[in-house]
Structure 1
Amino acid sequence: MPIFVFQWFDMNKTQLIRAISQDTNRTISQEKITVVLDTAVQVMKHALDSGDSVKWSGFGTLTVKNIPPKRLYSPVKKEYVLIESVRKIVFVEHRKQKSYSESMSILG
């Protein structure tokens, strides 16, 4: 099983595809990786559009949060303005599991 080793920097889609291809010793073509990533994104978009959460074990959860309308004061207009409600995608990172030795030190 390949171990993904990424440098910690902003990574665009092309760099991600190249890194996956290199970590799989180029056994999977970059074209196939692109199709899989694009399909995964489309499936996630569809799930989020329908109000479902997307849970990715060991990574995190994407959910849609409804932000209610707000009444804010505009210093430019010098009056209160109503901001419409919006839907916002929220990512919650999964908590890291404690290692076996850490859990045993707590117990005894």
Structure 2
Amino acid sequence: MDRKTNELNMNKKELIRIVTQELNCPISQEKVSLVLDKAIEITHRTLDTGESVKWSGFGSLVIKEISPKTLYSPMLKKYIVSKGSRKIVFRESGKSKRSMSE
């Protein structure tokens, strides 16, 4: 890769460029972008149903339910209950963990 060594983040545009480059075949960046966009759309749709998304050798995206909590509000001088929520959590696969530690 020709990325700068001090860069720690990869954005979508750079990912598309690198995938296109490493496939080494006549697939345009626009087509790779369409595939990536569709994969993201399907991932969102799957997570919205409550199912997890598993990528073998990489990890899983799962929905974690955050339960409501009772908190004290010093301004109101009373206890309030926060709303419950859902968040997306990434769980790294064992294979991915092993490759990162090598």
TM-score by length of 2: 0.81
Over aligned residues, Cα RMSD in angstroms? 2.2
Post-superposition offset of 1:36: 0.3
SS for the counterpart of 2:27 is coil
Equivalent in the alignment of 2:78: 79
Spell out, residue by residue over 1:2-46, the C-alpha distance to the aligned partner (whole angstroms, 9 max, x if none): xxx585621111111111111122532100010000000010111
Tell me, yes or no, if the aligned pair for 2:58 and 2:95 is still in contact at 8 Å: no
Counterparts of 1:65-76 in structure 2 under 5 Å? Answer: 65-76=64-75
Equivalent in the alignment of 1:102: none
Equivalent in the alignment of 2:22: 23
Bigger mean CA offset, 78-87 vs 29-38: 78-87
Distance 2:86 2:52 in 1: 13
State the AA in 2 paired with 1:72: L
Equivalent in the alignment of 1:60: 59
State the AA in 1 paired with 2:94: R
Gaps of 5+ in 2: none
Identical positions, percent: 49
Gaps of 5+ in 1: 99-108
Where has structure 1 moved over 4 Å in runs of 4 or more? 5-8
State the AA in 1 paired with 2:80: V
Distance 1:27 1:76 in 2: 62
Q: Which has the higher contact order (CA 8 A, sep 6+)?
A: 2
Tell me, yes or no, if the aligned pair for 1:17 and 1:34 is still in contact at 8 Å: yes
SS for the counterpart of 1:64 is strand
SS for the counterpart of 2:94 is coil
Spell out, residue by residue over 1:46-100, the C-alpha distance to the aligned partner (whole angstroms, 9 max, x if none): 10001111000000011111111111122343322211010111110001287xx
Tell me, yes or no, if the aligned pair for 1:6 and 1:19 is still in contact at 8 Å: no
